[in-house]
Amino acid sequence: MSKRLQVLLPDSEMAEIQALARRDQVTVGEWVRRALRAQFKLKAIRKAAEYSFPTTDIDQMLKEIRK
């Protein structure tokens, strides 16, 4: 199910978003949806980057997996 979201922006910000949407040849709504999805993905990547897992050379990893 879809829900409507209304966001009030200053004219200058709206004009900038409209220009970016035109550049990408999408509607303003689609541009905003893509930007929001990208933010969620970026947040997940940043969270994952906080972890420190042991790593090594890929050949060494494959060798250990085959054991």
Q: Is the pLDDT of residue 31 over 90?
A: yes
- Given a contact cutoff of 8 angstroms between Cβ atoms, the answer to whether 46 and 37 are in contact is no
How confident is the model over 23-49, as a mean pLDDT?
A: 95
Name residue 29's amino acid.
G
Q: Is the pLDDT of residue 54 over 90?
A: no
Taking the domains of the chain in order of start, what are their residue ranges? 11-66
- DSSP states of 23-54: HHTS-HHHHHHHHHHHHHHHHHHHHHHT----
Q: How long a stretch of residues is the chain?
A: 67
CA 20 to chain centre: 16
